[in-house]
């Protein structure tokens, strides 16, 4: 009996093939992906906010772009590639929104208290270029 010992990581071709196949089956079959879009979108948002806020704690200001974030992992990149981020000119506040969940743009309902103590400001929605 052979036991499969390769780890399933985001860079492992087997894992990528599995994820692509699953996505194709869900979308191709006309499945409603709203629930999973919301779950992935929620995780993308929370990961991004945590990384942006940690950057501010370490440096005293929010990053000019998400590429300035240090010490991110492979899975963090998935979240960062699926959000729109814009800091204010003085880098004291920022705007972030999820652009893609699993198969489409999620409709997230974030309670206002989630943003307490963060630098998030809704100002950026109109001033932030589309991704």
Those residues whose C-beta lies under 8 Å from the C-beta of residue 54, and which sit 6 or more positions away, are none
Residue 68 DSSP label: G
* Domain assignment of residue 97, yes or no: yes
Domain range for 73: 33-127
Name the pTM for this structure. 0.73
Q: How far is CA 122 from the centre of its chain?
A: 18
Position 90 scores a pLDDT of: 93
* Domain assignment of residue 82, yes or no: yes
Distances in whole angstroms, Cα of residue 44 to Cα of each of 29, 40, 63, 89: 25, 6, 17, 24
* Domain assignment of residue 23, yes or no: no
Q: Which of the residues in the chain have pLDDT under 50?
A: 1-2, 4-8, 28-29
Report how many domains make up the chain.
1
Would you tell me how many other CB atoms lie within 10 Å of the CB of residue 79? 22
Those residues whose C-beta lies under 8 Å from the C-beta of residue 24, and which sit 6 or more positions away, are none
Position 34 scores a pLDDT of: 80
């Amino acid at each position: 009996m052979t036991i499969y010992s390769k780890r399933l990581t985001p860079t492992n071709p087997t894992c990528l093939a599995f994820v692509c196949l699953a996505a194709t089956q869900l979308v191709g079959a006309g499945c409603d992906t709203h629930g999973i879009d919301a779950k992935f979108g929620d995780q993308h948002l929370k990961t991004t906010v945590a990384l942006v806020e940690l950057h501010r704690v370490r440096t005293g200001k929010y990053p000019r772009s998400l590429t300035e974030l240090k010490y991110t992992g492979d899975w963090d990149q998935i979240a960062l590639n699926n959000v729109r981020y814009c800091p204010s000119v003085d880098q004291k506040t920022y705007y972030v929104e999820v652009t893609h969940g699993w198969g489409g743009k999620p409709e997230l309902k974030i309670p206002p208290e989630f943003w307490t103590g963060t630098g998030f400001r809704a100002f950026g929605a109109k001033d932030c270029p589309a991704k």
